Structure 1
């Protein structure tokens, strides 16, 4: 009897030891899978490898960016992780944090759950990696035909690093960004405008400094268009060919489909700029209204249509419907006599080298607006005032028009992001040209907002610093 008892104890112990060895073996195997997946697919941007090792049924849950399927996940990797290989996010596993739990069915191993902590850095050529956030992750791996596929991902508890932040002046100098302008709005009122640094070497930037704001021109033209619609002088859905047809697409009947709504929601089918395609001619990549593709050409098309319909310039329309009522005294579409070059924030590359000034002498509805931080902050506040003064206009301004991702929409001239804390959503637009980095955002529920202007290319570290002290800025940074 004693022999049977000890034999039973031995067999149970042997089984437990075998299971433990198997679990350790599984943990090591999946640790290698994790390391290889993030090394090749995320850090090195081998998207073919990533595609092969991610399940077609992938569901990715992110505490800041919502839910993504495989198509959306792969698209976001290409767009947000791998678009600039000289300055990109990378992932590092926190040593000792990973745990693995096997999944069995009828005694057979079919998958595993993996949990751990990882860190995200910005890796820029020639510089040390810079920590940007830490997060928890839970992965579900399935074993299919003896291969491991990533089936589900939970990424959560994102936290920005705690460090001794440099002063704004130190940050600008370190990152070769000469000037920074910030305008703040609280509860619909402009509360602060500040400008730091130099407009050019040795010459201080002030509140009177004029910045080129690139694509922040588009929200100005969008507002003017919506004001014309609100007054019954124009219709978002009337065909633009009644007022303008570009000769390069005249032979394509799809030009008769184009409307202002297509332009403001970036559904024209045009390239961003015609010179970016091999023919360097305006063309349709798809029929208007069927897809979303960002386009400056669309706004220029709308400008010509408006100018022809109303027999006046976009400058005159903006003056009547926006600049004058909002008291924007320092905003111009081009280098006219009102623009003083002695107030201009000259643009600089990522090393701080001066970019030669190029002046424009005609309006562009998509780019090149010249303005001050104070004026553009007034613009945001003026728009938010319409919630009380002109609700029908404001309803159009903040309306979701098309869905382009999880918690991500495009409205009439603005990107719209939902699911912030405090039941908030945000309307956002950015602008970028050589030596130009700008951002404008407002939150309709709280009527808070801010404007950020910079005249240098190496803007990302400065933007991160500013957003940490801005309303819901940490959450916006996590969605970058």
Structure 2
């Protein structure tokens, strides 16, 4: 009798487990079909809006949930998932973290005058050069134009006193690069390799284009009419521009940023604290734009724009969520609002609201 009851119980358990497994498999198949349908619809939307290629990274709870490259290469073949993108000014947050890791390690001082290591000849006679610090540069308060070539005489100059207000400047980041390289006798790519790329296994990320780069995976840039731009192959690191990376590598970097990896508590707090207000609801911290979402939450962000490049990311440190968007066309910004609101709902809409005020 006992054997019979045991046999019946085992049969019932087996039956229930079998049913649960079948239900789980059916659910997974539905999700796979739904995801496939979504991707198909999105690629059709891209074609209608003339977006040649798009890299999308979704981070949930501090882990990569989705890493997908949509679109086609110039050969009309599907884009590989490890497509290499030039991410323009998304270079700057990487440079910022290099500097902040050195500060955290006690090897660099956030508020030490950079004149102790480097002074640009164009401003050597201007005493304001001694006010330049890493904090001022990472929060875009140098007083420099974005690029010196924008000036009529092509020379670097102060347009206001350092530390008095916000003005976005790539020149500032390049100034920091030169100071770091003088101090450590290494180029920026070497410093980043030691502090970020190697530890995070970002094997496809570099400030420079070298013989190891697989050109067949590189995403060429286009104007809005579909004309291809010449490929930029930098051989000298630029602290503000032209980083080459993949969706998976950059997503890994942002997860590390949210975790504060390699940063002291003080430096991490400084990084995520607004140093200067840029507009209502938004400020600049150390290397990152900070959006006040109104409920004790924030979003950290940075965008990038060059010829044939439009890139952006938003990370939400409270929930450890985020989105990374790489496009290879001048008007790739058209996808930002659609993707941000689709994946992050009210928070996405709040970001859009702050930007469009």
Superposition TM-score tier, normalisation by shorter sequence = 0.7 to 0.9
Unaligned runs of 5+ in 2: 1-37
1:350 aligns with 2:224: yes
Cross-structure match for 1:300: 174
Find the aligned partners of 2:44 and 2:225 in 1 and give their Cα distance.
15
Does 1 or 2 have the higher relative contact order (CA < 8 Å, sep 6+)?
A: 2
Residue 339 of structure 1: how far off its partner (Å): 1.3
Q: 1:327 to 1:388 in 2, by over 3 A?
A: closer
Q: Are the counterparts in 1 of residues 310 and 333 from structure 2 also a CA contact under 8 Å?
A: no
1:330 aligns with 2:192: no
Find the aligned partners of 1:249 and 1:339 in 2 and give their Cα distance.
37
After superposition, the C-alpha distances for 1:290-315 in whole angstroms (9 at most, x for unaligned) are 11100000000000000000111111
RMSD: 1.9
Find the aligned partners of 1:245 and 1:216 in 2 and give their Cα distance.
25
Q: Are the counterparts in 2 of residues 419 and 425 from structure 1 also a CA contact under 8 Å?
A: yes
Residue 201 of structure 1: how far off its partner (Å): 4.5
Cross-structure match for 1:210: 84
Residue 165 of structure 1: how far off its partner (Å): 12
Find the aligned partners of 2:74 and 2:267 in 1 and give their Cα distance.
40
1:172 aligns with 2:46: yes
Find the aligned partners of 2:220 and 2:192 in 1 and give their Cα distance.
25
1:473 aligns with 2:348: yes
Q: 1:286 to 1:351 in 2, by over 3 A?
A: same
Find the aligned partners of 2:157 and 2:73 in 1 and give their Cα distance.
39
Find the aligned partners of 2:270 and 2:109 in 1 and give their Cα distance.
12
215-224 vs 402-411, greater mean Cα deviation: 402-411
1:452 aligns with 2:325: yes
Unaligned runs of 5+ in 1: 1-163
Cross-structure match for 2:189: 315
180-189 vs 209-218, greater mean Cα deviation: 180-189
* Correspondence 1:129-140 to 2 at 5 A: none
Cross-structure match for 1:395: 269
Find the aligned partners of 1:165 and 1:468 in 2 and give their Cα distance.
16
Q: Are the counterparts in 1 of residues 144 and 156 from structure 2 also a CA contact under 8 Å?
A: yes
Q: Are the counterparts in 2 of residues 226 and 396 from structure 1 also a CA contact under 8 Å?
A: no
Q: Are the counterparts in 2 of residues 334 and 362 from structure 1 also a CA contact under 8 Å?
A: yes
Find the aligned partners of 1:201 and 1:173 in 2 and give their Cα distance.
16
Find the aligned partners of 1:299 and 1:386 in 2 and give their Cα distance.
21
Name the SS for the 1:193 alignment partner.
Answer: strand
Residue 175 of structure 1: how far off its partner (Å): 1.9
Greater radius of gyration (CA): 1
Find the aligned partners of 2:67 and 2:337 in 1 and give their Cα distance.
19
Q: 1:234 to 1:477 in 2, by over 3 A?
A: same
Q: Are the counterparts in 2 of residues 181 and 194 from structure 1 also a CA contact under 8 Å?
A: yes
Find the aligned partners of 1:339 and 1:243 in 2 and give their Cα distance.
32
Residue 187 of structure 1: how far off its partner (Å): 1.4
1:419 aligns with 2:281: no
Find the aligned partners of 1:296 and 1:389 in 2 and give their Cα distance.
24
For residue 361 of structure 1, the aligned residue among 212, 227, 235 is 235
After superposition, the C-alpha distances for 1:154-187 in whole angstroms (9 at most, x for unaligned) are xxxxxxxxxx999211122122211111111111
Name the SS for the 1:192 alignment partner.
Answer: strand
Q: 1:352 to 1:233 in 2, by over 3 A?
A: same
After superposition, the C-alpha distances for 1:66-90 in whole angstroms (9 at most, x for unaligned) are xxxxxxxxxxxxxxxxxxxxxxxxx
Name the SS for the 2:72 alignment partner.
Answer: strand
Residue 335 of structure 1: how far off its partner (Å): 0.8
Q: 1:250 to 1:214 in 2, by over 3 A?
A: same
Cross-structure match for 1:256: 130
Find the aligned partners of 1:256 and 1:461 in 2 and give their Cα distance.
42
Residue 450 of structure 1: how far off its partner (Å): 1.2
Cross-structure match for 2:64: 190
Q: Are the counterparts in 2 of residues 330 and 375 from structure 1 also a CA contact under 8 Å?
A: yes
After superposition, the C-alpha distances for 1:183-222 in whole angstroms (9 at most, x for unaligned) are 1111111121011002335132122100000000000000
Q: Are the counterparts in 2 of residues 334 and 360 from structure 1 also a CA contact under 8 Å?
A: yes
After superposition, the C-alpha distances for 1:410-466 in whole angstroms (9 at most, x for unaligned) are 10011111034x542111100000110101111111111111000011223322321
Residue 468 of structure 1: how far off its partner (Å): 2.5
- Larger strand fraction of residues: 1
1:181 aligns with 2:39: no
Find the aligned partners of 1:403 and 1:311 in 2 and give their Cα distance.
35
Residue 390 of structure 1: how far off its partner (Å): 5.0
Q: 1:308 to 1:184 in 2, by over 3 A?
A: same
* Correspondence 1:262-273 to 2 at 5 A: 262-273=136-147
Q: Are the counterparts in 2 of residues 184 and 450 from structure 1 also a CA contact under 8 Å?
A: yes
Find the aligned partners of 2:129 and 2:199 in 1 and give their Cα distance.
35
- Structure 1 runs, 4 residues or longer, greater than 4 Å off: 387-390
